[in-house]
């Protein structure tokens, strides 16, 4: 699921940033004896969270935690006459800053005096839904806890999303009871253990957020600007037979240069919350990453790589490892005329 999304992974600007769970929200707590929300109500709750992330003015500091690792970021989000503006600053590790205006994101890398541009939407926490999200209620059971909780000095409602199959993780979420803004999200394993979590530590909403907070802390005059061109691609027409896990649908298929004369194709699948990226590139024995038919993991993010003929296929996403393994092991390449 995205936090923001990207998240968010290799599909996000600068190929960096936090992995985060997706999220869900509900209006004030329901009585314990009430039935779980119907499918239409579930989708409405999710849409309210998404709308809050996109339409509210807010600023705060949130922390992503995976095991002993903790990473903090500062976010400022405002809406004006030109649309959405957002500034995201990583507070730990190498300095990074992300400036977004609607669909355009600039990733600032001070150590290299480099700005990487990406012209497509890359929602992160506290945003939620990927694509239309219409099928989310078909693949998750929803449980709303009757007692309110408190995050970042704000009252929130806890909602659990339990997957109906083994293709995806579960999520435990807490969203502000007044504004519907997501305050905390946890990714839950099939064994009901905590994989990772992301949560606001401090938060301001509304007129306390000042426009000057959107200004970058770096003087970027003279920095190199890099924009990697992307072009649409139809992998199936190029001979690729990639199986989609139940409930997942493609939302992006693009090709981009990797090195001179070499391109990588990317397919993004989502069930509305979880996201999977499939990368296909020419085979090279020097390719870094997991070995062929090998797996690597970092929190909720798993990566599986396989060699298919003269290509590397890499599947990655915030889903169980077996979901990615199944995609990679059952993908076929049937070259078509002109695509050898």
Q: Where are the domains of the chain?
A: 13-224, 228-333
Nearest to 66 by CA among 19, 114, 123: 19
Q: What CATH architecture is 228-333? A: 2-Layer Sandwich (3.30)
Q: What gap in Å lies between CA 208 and CA 123, rounded to an integer?
A: 23
Q: What gap in Å lies between CA 324 and CA 283, rounded to an integer?
A: 19
Nearest to 98 by CA among 83, 84, 87, 85: 87
The pLDDT value given to residue 298 = 82
Q: How far, in Å, are 288, 294, 299, 329 from residue 306 at the CA level?
A: 12, 7, 21, 7
Residue 168 near residue 281, CB atoms below 8 Å = no
Q: Which CATH superfamily is domain 13-224 in?
A: Lipoprotein localisation LolA/LolB/LppX (2.50.20.10)
Indicate the pTM of the whole model.
Answer: 0.83
The pLDDT value given to residue 292 = 62
> Mean pLDDT per segment of 10 residues, for the chain of length 340 residues?
38 31 29 54 89 97 94 97 96 96 95 93 85 90 91 95 95 96 96 94 95 94 92 94 94 85 90 95 72 75 92 94 94 75
The pLDDT value given to residue 262 = 80
Q: 188 is written with which tokens? A: 């839950």
Nearest to 295 by CA among 280, 305, 307: 305
The pLDDT value given to residue 290 = 57
The pLDDT value given to residue 194 = 94
């Amino acid at each position: 699921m995205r936090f923001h999304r990207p998240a968010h992974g290799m599909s996000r600007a600068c190929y960096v940033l936090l992995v985060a769970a997706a999220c869900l929200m509900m209006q004030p707590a329901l009585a314990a004896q009430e039935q779980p929300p119907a499918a239409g109500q579930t989708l409405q709750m999710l849409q309210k969270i998404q709308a809050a992330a996109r339409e509210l003015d807010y600023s705060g500091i949130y922390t992503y935690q995976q095991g002993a690792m903790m990473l903090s970021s500062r976010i400022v989000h405002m809406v004006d006459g030109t649309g959405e503006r957002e500034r995201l600053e990583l507070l730990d590790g190498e300095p990074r800053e992300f400036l977004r205006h609607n669909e355009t994101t600039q990733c600032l890398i001070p150590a290299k005096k480099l700005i990487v541009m990406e012209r497509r939407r890359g929602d992160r926490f506290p945003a939620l839904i990927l694509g239309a999200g219409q099928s989310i209620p078909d693949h998750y059971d929803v449980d709303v806890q009757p007692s309110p909780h408190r995050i970042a000095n704000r009252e929130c409602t806890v909602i659990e999303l339990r997957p109906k199959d083994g293709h995806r993780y579960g999520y435990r979420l807490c969203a502000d009871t007044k504004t519907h803004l997501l305050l905390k999200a946890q990714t839950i394993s099939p064994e009901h253990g905590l994989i990772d979590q992301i949560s606001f530590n401090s938060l301001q909403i509304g007129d306390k957020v000042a426009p000057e907070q959107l200004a970058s802390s770096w003087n970027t005059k003279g920095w190199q600007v890099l924009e990697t061109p992307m072009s649409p691609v139809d992998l199936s027409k190029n001979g690729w037979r990639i199986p989609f896990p139940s409930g997942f649908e493609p939302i992006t298929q693009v090709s981009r240069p990797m090195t001179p004369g070499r391109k990588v194709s990317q397919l993004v699948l989502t069930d509305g919350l979880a996201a999977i990226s499939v990368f296909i590139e020419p085979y090279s024995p020097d390719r870094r990453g997991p070995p062929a038919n090998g797996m690597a993991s970092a929190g909720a993010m798993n990566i599986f790589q396989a060699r298919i003929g003269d290509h590397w296929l890499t599947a990655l996403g915030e889903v169980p490892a077996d979901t990615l393994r199944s995609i990679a092991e059952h993908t076929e390449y049937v070259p078509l005329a002109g695509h050898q």
